[in-house]
């Protein structure tokens, strides 16, 4: 019944010192063959388990990594966390996962909490591009452990970053639409100011420029919520000069776009072509099957984990590394040729 066995009990039973027992448990210093065997046996006999809380206290690592995402219920982030978890387990780390809900104050609170837990490292999709730099500029020097910024904050000084090649992705998506003859395009996103989103828009604009359509874009900012997005999109689709194609910059925007089109009884892609973002199982049940820009989630996770473990292993000092991963445009059924239609209002401009 009594309390769980400690390393002291193990040492006693094995007839060696506590230090030796400890060294067997975490191969920190070499231990002779005979002692090692005795200790291993004692551990098995007592069913001893290392107490990580104590281990962490004495200066060793916690083998705990914080993962911070805007919303774990979003399929994109859930997929990311899932992959990171697999990699972390392989290296003997556990994950402390938190959601921020796109709220800067909450992000700050949650990251502070993670620091109080002495996490060894941090993988974070920050709420704002610069929200992490604030942490390391306090008067007491850096507060953050090694951190990798994923998806956002690619310009933040002093951090390793992983993100998609957003400009190219935006270009490819828009280009596929202009190639189909669309001349009235709209972009749907949540809000201003995130670099990755701006890059997607920049790529989109580049394609428009090439098609001789500069200035003919509209950007719909619909907020974080599905319903507010849908409302904003419907307003745009109700205009007489409504767009014939929509490029949704996140998977939630894509869903909102589909719902808006359905609500207005617009045929996809007959009346409205839609290019979405991200790619996951349930999209396969959609009819029409969504044309989308797939981000390489697995590669995001692998790259982030590689960068983080590099720092964790002390191979730290090298300059920051910025990884940009290519997206793939998956052309499916939700995009089609622009249907010629009366353009009274647009022509009158």
Residue 32's binding partner out of a second copy, DNA, none, with CB under 5 to 8 Å set by partner kind: DNA
**Tokens encoding 221:** 């900012």
Distance CA 152, CA 195 (A): 7
Residue among 41, 44, 45, 50 that touches DNA (CB under 7 A): 50
- Secondary structure in 3-state letters for the chain: CCCCCCHHHHHHHHCCCHHHHHHHHCCCCCCCHHHHHHHHHHHHHHCCCCCHHHHHHCCCCCCEEEEEECCCCCHHHHHHHHHHHHHHHHCCCEEEEEECCCCHHHHHHHHHHHHHCCCCEEEECCCCCCCCHHHHHCCCCCCCCCEEEECCCCCCCCCEEEEECHHHHHHHHHHHHHHCCCCCEEEEECCCCCHHHHHHHHHHHHHHHHCCCCCCEEEEECCCCHHHHHHHHHHHHHCCCCCCEEEECCHHHHHHHHHHHHHCCCCCCCCCEEEEECCCHHHHHCCCCCEEEECCHHHHHHHHHHHHHHHHCCCCCCCCCEEEECCEEECCCCCCCCCCCCCHHHHHC
**Binder to DNA among 41, 44, 45, 60 (CB under 7 A)?**
60
235 in contact with a second copy (CB under 8 A) = no
Smallest gap, in angstroms, from Cβ of residue 321 to DNA?
Answer: 27
Only one of the segments 54-62, 140-148, 160-168, 206-214 lies at the binding site for DNA (rule: CB under 7 A); that segment is 54-62
Establish if 3 lies at the interface with DNA (CB under 7 A). Answer: yes
Binds a second copy by CB under 8 A, chosen from 19, 113, 235, 345: 113
Q: Which of 44, 45, 57, 235 is the binder for DNA (CB under 7 A)? A: 57
* Piece in contact with DNA (CB under 7 A), picked from 56-64, 99-107, 234-242, 339-347: 56-64
40 contacts DNA (rule: CB under 7 A) = no
How far, CA to CA in Å, does 282 sit from each of 10, 126, 182?
52, 26, 28
Q: Which does 155 bind (CB under 5 to 8 A by kind): DNA, a second copy, none?
A: none
Please identify, using beta-carbon distances, which residue of 49 and 262 lies nearer to DNA.
Answer: 49
Q: Which does residue 320 touch among DNA, a second copy, none (CB within 5 to 8 A, set by kind)?
A: none
Min separation Cβ 120 and DNA, Å: 13
Mask for 41-80, x = binds a second copy (CB under 8 A): ------x-xxxxxx-xx----x-x------xxx-x--xx-
Please give the residues from 15 up to 34 whose contact with DNA meets the rule CB under 7 A: 15-20, 22-23, 25-26, 28-32, 34
**Would you tell me which residues interact with a second copy (CB under 8 A)?**
1, 4, 47, 49-54, 56-57, 62, 64, 71-73, 75, 78-79, 81-82, 85, 89, 94-99, 110, 112-118, 138, 140-141, 226, 252, 255, 258-259, 262, 281-287
**Would you tell me which residues interact with DNA (CB under 7 A)?**
3-4, 6-8, 15-20, 22-23, 25-26, 28-32, 34-36, 48-51, 54-55, 57-60
């Amino acid at each position: 019944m009594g309390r769980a066995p400690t390393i002291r009990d193990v040492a006693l039973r094995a007839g060696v010192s506590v230090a030796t027992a400890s060294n067997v448990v975490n191969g920190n210093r070499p231990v002779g063959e005979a002692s090692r065997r005795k200790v291993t046996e004692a551990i098995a006999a007592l069913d001893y388990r290392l107490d990580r809380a104590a281990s962490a206290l004495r200066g060793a690592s916690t083998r705990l990594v914080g993962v911070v995402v805007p919303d774990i219920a979003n399929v994109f982030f859930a997929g990311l966390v899932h992959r990171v978890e697999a990699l972390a387990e392989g290296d003997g780390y556990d994950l402390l996962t938190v959601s921020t809900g796109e709220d800067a104050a909450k992000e700050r609170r949650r990251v502070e909490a993670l620091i109080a837990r002495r996490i060894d490292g941090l993988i974070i999709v920050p709420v704002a591009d610069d929200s992490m730099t604030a942490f390391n500029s306090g008067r007491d020097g850096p507060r953050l452990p090694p951190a990798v910024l994923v998806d956002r904050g690619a310009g933040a000084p002093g951090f390793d970053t992983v993100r998609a090649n957003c400009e190219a992705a935006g270009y490819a998506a828009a280009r596929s639409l202009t190639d189909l003859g669309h001349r009235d395009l709209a972009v749907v996103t949540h809000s201003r100011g995130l670099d990755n989103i701006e890059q997607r828009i920049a790529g989109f604009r580049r394609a428009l420029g090439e098609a001789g359509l500069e200035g003919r874009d509209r950007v719909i900012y619909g907020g974080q919520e599905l319903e507010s997005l849908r409302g904003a999109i419907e307003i745009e689709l109700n205009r007489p000069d409504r767009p014939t194609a929509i490029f949704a910059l996140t998977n939630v925007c894509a869903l909102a776009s589909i719902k808006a089109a359905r609500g207005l009884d617009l045929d996809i892609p007959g009346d409205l072509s839609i290019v979405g973002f991200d790619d996951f199982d349930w999209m396969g049940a959609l009819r029409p099957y969504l044309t989308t820009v797939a981000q390489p989630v697995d590669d995001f996770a692998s790259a982030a984990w590689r960068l983080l473990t590099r720092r964790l292993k002390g191979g730290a000092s090298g300059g920051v590394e910025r990884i940009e991963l290519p997206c793939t445009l998956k052309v499916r059924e939700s995009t089609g040729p622009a249907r010629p239609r009366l353009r009274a209002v647009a022509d009158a401009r």
